[in-house]
Amino acid sequence: MWQVAVYLAFCGVYVLMRPVTVTRDFPTKAYRQRRVWGLLLWGGVTAVSLLILAYFLRTALAITGGQLGAPLDDAWIHFQFARNLSQGHGFSYNPGEPQPGSTAPLWTLLLAGVGLLTAEARHFLVAALILSAGFMLLAVWLAYGFTRWAGGNQWIALLAALGTLLAGRFVWAGLAGMETTAFAALSLAAIWLYSRDGLRPLPTLLFALSSQMRPEGHLLFALALADTAYQWLRVNGQWSIVNTRGLARQIGVALAVYLLVALPYTLFSLRVTGHPLPNTFYAKAGSKYLFSWRTLTETLTFHWRDNPVAFLLLLAGLWPLWQRSRLAAAWLLLLPLFVGLIIDQVWHYGRYTLPLIPLQMVTAALGLQWLWAQSQHLGLRSRWATAVPLLLIISLFLWAGGRTLPHWATTLGQNSQEIIAVDVAIAHWLAANTPPDALIAVDDIGAIGFLSGRRLLDLNGLISPEMWPVIKGEPEGRPRNEATARLLSTLQPDYLAVFPEWHWEVATNPLTVRERAQFAAETKTIIGEQRAFIYEMVYWPYLATAVPATSLSVQFGEGIRLLGYDLDVHDQIGLVLYWRSEQPVAESYDVFVHVLNEQGEIVAQADSAPVAGLAPTTRWQPGDIIRDVVTIPLPPALPAGEYALRAGLYRRETGERLTAVGPAALGDMVDLGSVVVP
């Protein structure tokens, strides 16, 4: 396939070098030649594009066993929003719960058209793949058109188009069922029209539509406004305020057009969450640093791997691109820097800057044209002395892109298979084994939400803003899991469908969960973890009220009160302690429970932080009631008889115990009565 692209490019080099003979009827022949070459180019590039897409699809289906899928769970998120929108539920993930969880409301609207005709998953999937592939083809031709406008040469433009369709990562996006290629096409079209005509209503409309495909489009429009102001205020190399009235009029009209499209979803977001941007920005975006060099490095690495030759040619093409379109050059340079400001690391193969690939190839083609023009001033007598290096560079350019195709075709299949093996399988299990009104707390919401028909609680906050304080306020690991347990005790989901490594203290706590099913993928290329589990919730540690079987009121220190307990004795002692927090506790205390014989000797005991470490005392807030289950195994050789039961709180680091005050208090412990061992 890429060999066909090489042939087309070589034809271009030949025509570029071929002397032109001018005759009296040259305009007519030239027009006919251009028309024929144009048709051949359109047909050839389109044919190569379709062949590459077919190759990717065939490779992916071979990996998935013939099952059509999407390489990102996020595609299913769009399907769910679109289906609910088409069924009259508005922008909501859980029907009846409005949420600005879609980062691409325009993409959701396009898919909602499918929902008016059908609610079946395969129809949404096919429609999304056709749309993303169609926008990929459009982006290829926009790369051609913009390069021809900027460079004035159709063969250089052809090189930009071929570079775009040979970028394996961009073809992967074309079969992802996502908005990425649509944003690439709309943003490039907006840049082209703006660079040619200025900030008129049509390019402004395209800027607005781009912003509804990806929120990064707002940055692109801001750059266009800045460039427009520069053009009005910079006259003949001098700053001038003479044209401020014209500037205000043009920007005012542009803002009116832009806001007409972009404002409704912003107002919807403000009304629902109090924030102007979609939920993803607050759930996933955010950096611990002023700027993430890791993000920039990873981003540049992806673009280097797309095509190293194009990346090098890009350096030569930036100046000619700047001369023709300051906005295009600024967008190409500033978007990677902007991404480094908002996220700490790249995910999903750098899809935030992936839409720059067509513009990257445009710039590379202009760079090659600039190098060719410079070579004409070297004084070489033979045209072939410069043509041979040119042919070599073009060959390397096309090879560098084409060599990535097998890798990304395989990646597409592996990604899709992982989503099918884990997320789709979880959805089917939940649909078959849980009540229709069950609330499921999940890590991946896409396929699970669309296919299970269950109400979801998103532990990553995309559709559940109530998780934001936990996500933003707590470091990953135990602190976040402790805070998650506290919040979930209030929301009380019936099941967890999660990657246990992400919620270790919750998922492995035997007091709170019971495993029901597990699912695994053979590879880990896009899925969060290779293994995912479904857990049924046994109980949550934090309660609103409590009615213990035996009531007490024993104060420990100044901040903790024991309200009472439940007791059950068989071959082990089952004890449930009910604590209430009177005020915040600065130190972490463990609970000890001792079983004593008549001589006061400890014959059995249990020591642990409350709720097996899931609800440490440092997490308790005034008014909290904590249900702490303690199991005390009895030694097999323990003689039958009556044994005393004592409990208290102590610091593990020092052994210091809290003083107990109350009717059953015994200094630094409380008397829980006696148990009879048969």
Tell me the torsion sign for CA atoms 305, 307, 312, 315: negative
Buried b / exposed e over 327-352, threshold 16 CB at 10 Å, is bbbbbbeebbeebbebbeebebbbbb
- Per the CB < 8 A criterion, the answer to whether 517 and 539 are in contact is no
CA distance 394 to 378: 20
Please give the model's pTM, rounded to 2 decimal places. Answer: 0.89
- The class of domain 543-677 in CATH terms is mainly beta
CATH number for the region 411-540 comes to 3.40.50
Tell me, what's the pLDDT at 15?
40
- pLDDT confidence bin for 118, thresholds 50/70/90: confident
The residue among 579, 559, 561 whose CA lies nearest residue 626 is: 579
Tell me, what's the pLDDT at 392?
92
Mapped onto helix, strand or coil, the DSSP state of residue 657 is strand
Q: Which residue has the tokens 């649909």?
A: 431
- pLDDT confidence bin for 290, thresholds 50/70/90: confident
Q: Are strands 590-596 and 641-650 parallel, antiparallel or unpaired?
A: antiparallel
Q: Provide, for the chain, the percentages of residues in helix, strand and coil under a 3-state DSSP scheme, each rounded to the nearest 5.
A: 55, 15, 30
**Distant-in-sequence, close-in-space partners of 103: CB < 8 Å, separation ≥ 6:** 179, 214, 215, 278, 280, 281
| Structure token pair of residue 546 | 């409590």
Higher pLDDT, 396 or 39: 396
pLDDT digits (tens, 9 = 90+) for 436-454: 999 999 999 999 999 999 9
CA distance 446 to 62: 24
Mapped onto helix, strand or coil, the DSSP state of residue 509 is coil
Share of the chain above pLDDT 70, in %: 92
Average pLDDT of the residues in 66-79: 97
| Structure token pair of residue 79 | 């399907």
Tell me the torsion sign for CA atoms 300, 302, 304, 307: negative
List 555's β-bridge partners, or say none: 561, 661
pLDDT digits (tens, 9 = 90+) for 302-335: 999 999 999 999 999 999 999 999 999 999 999 9
**Distant-in-sequence, close-in-space partners of 4: CB < 8 Å, separation ≥ 6:** 44, 47, 48, 51
Tell me, what's the pLDDT at 521?
97
pLDDT digits (tens, 9 = 90+) for 55-69: 999 999 999 999 999
Tell me, what's the pLDDT at 287?
65
Using the predicted structure, report yes or no on whether residue 385 has a pLDDT greater than 70. no
Domain ranges in the chain? 2-402, 411-540, 543-677
Tell me, what's the pLDDT at 30?
66
CA distance 56 to 129: 12
Say if 411-540 and 543-677 have the same CATH topology: no
- Per the CB < 8 A criterion, the answer to whether 104 and 280 are in contact is no
- pLDDT confidence bin for 2, thresholds 50/70/90: very low
pLDDT digits (tens, 9 = 90+) for 156-211: 999 999 999 999 999 999 999 999 999 999 999 999 999 999 999 999 999 999 99
**Reduced 3-state DSSP string for 351-414:** CCCHHHHHHHHHHHHHHHHHHHHHHCCCCCCCCHHHHHHHHHHHHHHHHHHHCCHHHHHHHHHH
CA distance 447 to 76: 5
Give the gyration radius of the chain's Cα atoms: 32
